[in-house]
Amino acid sequence: MRGTVVWTVLVALGLSAPARANDPIDEDLAEVSAAIEARPTDARLRRVRVSLWLDAERANEAVLDLDVLDALTGDPSATRLLRAEAEALRGRDEAALALLDAHLAHASDPAAYDLRAAVFARLGEHERAAQDWAAAFYAAPTVVRAMGRIDALRSLHRDAEVIRACREALATIGESVMVRWELVESLERVGAPDEALRALDAAPRLAPVRRGLHRARLLVLLGRSAEATLQLAQTHALAFARARRRPSLGAWREAALVAHALGRADDASEAERHVAVLAPSILGGAR
Please report the pLDDT score of residue 9 as a whole number.
Answer: 36
Domains of the chain plus CATH, in order, are: 1-74 (1.25.40), 91-189 (1.25.40.10)
Please report the pLDDT score of residue 206 as a whole number.
Answer: 93
User: Quick check: 287 pLDDT over 80?
Assistant: no
Please report the pLDDT score of residue 279 as a whole number.
Answer: 85
Mean pLDDT of 221-227: 97
Cα–Cα distance measured from residue 195 to residue 164, given in angstroms and rounded to the nearest whole number: 13
| Average pLDDT across the chain, whole number | 90
Tell me which amino acid residue 185 is. E
Looking at the chain, the whole-number percentage of residues with pLDDT higher than 70 is 90
Cα–Cα distance measured from residue 31 to residue 52, given in angstroms and rounded to the nearest whole number: 11
Mean pLDDT of 184-200: 98
pLDDT digits (tens, 9 = 90+) for 241-252: 999 999 999 999
Cα–Cα distance measured from residue 239 to residue 262, given in angstroms and rounded to the nearest whole number: 12
Torsional sign, CA 170, 176, 177, 182:
negative
Cα–Cα distance measured from residue 144 to residue 182, given in angstroms and rounded to the nearest whole number: 13
Mean pLDDT of 139-154: 98
Looking at the chain, the whole-number percentage of residues with pLDDT higher than 90 is 86
pLDDT digits (tens, 9 = 90+) for 2-56: 543 333 333 344 444 444 444 578 888 999 999 999 999 999 999 999 999 999 9
pLDDT range class, residue 205, cuts 50, 70, 90: confident
User: Quick check: 286 pLDDT over 50?
Assistant: no
Please report the pLDDT score of residue 169 as a whole number.
Answer: 98
Mean pLDDT of 66-82: 95
Give the number of residues written for the chain: 287
Q: How far apart are the first and last CA of the chain?
A: 30
Cα–Cα distance measured from residue 259 to residue 232, given in angstroms and rounded to the nearest whole number: 9
Mean pLDDT of 85-97: 97
**How many other CB atoms are found less than 10 A from the CB of residue 29?**
20
pLDDT digits (tens, 9 = 90+) for 117-144: 999 999 999 999 999 999 999 999 999 9
Q: Give the list of residues 6+ apart from residue 237 with CB closer than 8 angstroms, or none.
A: none
Evaluate whether 66 touches 52 at the Cβ level (below 8 Å). Answer: no
